[in-house]
Chain A
Amino acid sequence: MDDIFETAERLGIPVPEAYRETVLANYERLLQQAALVMAAPLPDAQQDHLADFVP
């Protein structure tokens, strides 16, 4: 997981050394949630404009 900080650096988002341990813990928690999202079954591609959501 350490290379995530190298990726961040290349994206211009340097994460100071002092914060890396807690950022990593949060990133791991976020990835757990992201994995649920990526594994979720979805119907076929929908036609709605995705970012213009109407309840």
Chain B
Amino acid sequence: MTDLLSRDATAIADAVRRQRISAVSVTKTALDRAAAANAALNAFSALFPDAALAAAAEIDRGIAQGIDPGPLAGVPVAAKNLFDIAGVTTLAGSKILADAPPAGRDATVVARLKAAGAVVIGATHMDEFAYGFTTQNAHYGDTHNPHDLARSAGGSSGGSAAAVAARLVPVALGSDTNGSIRVPAAFCGIFGLKPTLRRLSRAGAYPFVHELDHVGPFACSVRDLALAYDLMQGPDAADGFCLQRPVEPAWPTLDQPVSGLRAAVLDGWFVDGAEPAVLAAVARVADALGADRKVTLSGVAEARAAAFCLTAASGAALHLDALRARPQDFDPATRDRFFAGALLPASVIDRVRRLRLAFRDQLRAVFETADVLIAPATPCAAPRLDQTTLMLGGSPVPLRPNVGLYTQPISFIGLPVVTVPMAGPEGLPIGIQIIAPAWREDVALRVAAQLERDVVVSAPDPKGIGA
């Protein structure tokens, strides 16, 4: 069973559907392992043994009656604790929401995974209100990296990434406003997909920055990542921001060759300051894809600054009432940035939006001569949890705001990205962004699948905690 849980969702679902193992047995094992590992990782904010075992029993009953529960039959999954799960209070990593009533229904993407047979075993830990890159939380503690417990799992979806990396669940859900799927995927050494902005429904996902929020999956294999993504696609009447696009399955295209695809490496901003091991990882991916062309974008610092400003101002506006009424109940790191954001002149935000259009148009032009772009996800491997500065190009800079230097400009214009994991120095993984044109998640996933087949990328087994 332990071996089965260490394999991927597709293998587990296949075993459950063939009745080689029961969904109840899989779920019980996953719950036991998650409970045991959580003391070291602090990846889960809550486990749901009663609901999960009841759901698993229902799946087993259905299979016994000849009903196919779906492609995720009996697969244990987890969701960042900003996704509504019926009967559970949605915390979004905060104390402010701790007294809120339980959610009346599941978030759309949670419901879609459940409808495909997934069993939600728990909610995962995060930075308060998703405002951070390290999953260090004044209320609920830090999430630890399964590859080295003294290091950050990344954030803000660090609990989900740590749970997948530790092989506690094969699939977990996260959100990404400035890098919150891609950074933890990189630090934890797993695959993460940030889909195109407005592709997946955000209904029932606690918001952070309306204009930048994305939701997406983590997994240890590309086929699991694509499967979970496909199952969550489709328009949603409950979310007007989610565009009315048909389901465009990526999973069936994963085996298609990528020869002929034009890959290029992002230069300039996206390599300045990166550690040598990160640059070496980019070079390995570029070599594997035959990417000998480099692209230098203009205005990247400004695009990143614009995302920084929009995040502070929009996040502050969302939480203004609580900031006024109970500032003492925020994580200090969140509160101080929200106060600052509340005081930003509106003229900056108007200009942010104009910059966004110009930067989007620049990338649209780049994609006329390239099919995917390659860039590091982070400037370094996972930092120590007690680390406060990052060496960037030989100079120390504050760690927390600068971990997302390479992710923020890309999410600012909503492009789809798959983060692929590679082995790095000292057993710590490194993540590389495979960036595709808008709505072409299938291309990024196909490239990731080819890199996985060629054993250029893979999710390494964690050393910090037994898999």
Contact = CB atoms under 8 A, between A and B. Distances in A.
A19 B211 contact: no
B327 A30 contact: no
Interface string B294-333: 0000010110011011001000000010011001100010
B341 interface: yes
A36 B301 contact: yes
Contacts of B355: 37, 40, 42
B197 A53 contact: yes
**What is the size category of the interface that chain B forms with chain A?**
35 or more
Interface in B337-361: 337, 339-345, 347-348, 350-358, 360
B350 A50 contact: yes
B340 A37 contact: no
B306 A37 contact: yes
B353 A37 contact: no
B12 to A, nearest CB: 33
Given A51-B211, A55-B197, A19 B339 contact: yes
Interface string A4-24: 100110011111100100110
A50 B309 contact: no
Max chain A C-beta neighbours (<10 A), residue from B343, B348, B358: B343
B302 A36 contact: yes
Nearest to B323: A13
B198 A54 contact: yes
A41 B345 CA distance: 19
Contacts of A46: 354, 357-358
Contacts of B439: 55
Contacts of A7: 343
Nearest to A24: B340
A46 B353 CA distance: 10
B399 interface: no
Contacts of B305: 33-34, 36-37
B336 interface: yes
Contacts of B332: 19, 22
Nearest to B355: A40
A30 B323 CA distance: 18
Interface centre among A23, A40, A42 (most CB of B within 10 A): A40
B348 A38 contact: yes
Given A7-B343, A29-B401, A40 B336 contact: no
Interface string B410-446: 0001110000000000000000000000110000000
Contacts of B438: 54-55
Nearest to B210: A51
A37 B351 contact: yes
Contacts of B343: 4, 7-8, 11, 13, 27
A51 B353 contact: yes
A48 interface: yes
Nearest to A16: B327
A15 B302 CA distance: 29
Contact of A30 (B312, B357, B358): B312
A12 B196 CA distance: 37
A23 B339 contact: yes
B243 interface: yes
B167 interface: no
B335 interface: yes
Interface of A: 4, 7-8, 11-16, 19, 22-23, 25-27, 29-30, 33-34, 36-43, 45-46, 48, 50-51, 53-55
19 contacts: A8-B342, A11-B343, A13-B324, A14-B324, A23-B339, A23-B340, A26-B340, A30-B309, A30-B340, A37-B305, A37-B309, A38-B348, A40-B299, A40-B302, A40-B355, A42-B351, A51-B353, A55-B414, A55-B438
Interface of B: 196-198, 211, 243, 299, 301-302, 305-306, 308-309, 312, 320, 323-324, 327-328, 332, 335-337, 339-345, 347-348, 350-358, 360, 401, 413-415, 438-439
Given A19-B327, A55-B415, 16 more contacts: A16-B327, A19-B335, A26-B336, A26-B337, A26-B339, A36-B305, A37-B302, A37-B309, A37-B348, A38-B347, A39-B302, A42-B354, A43-B358, A46-B357, A51-B353, A53-B360
CB-CB nearest 5 A-B residue pairs: A55-B414, A55-B438, A50-B353, A33-B305, A36-B305
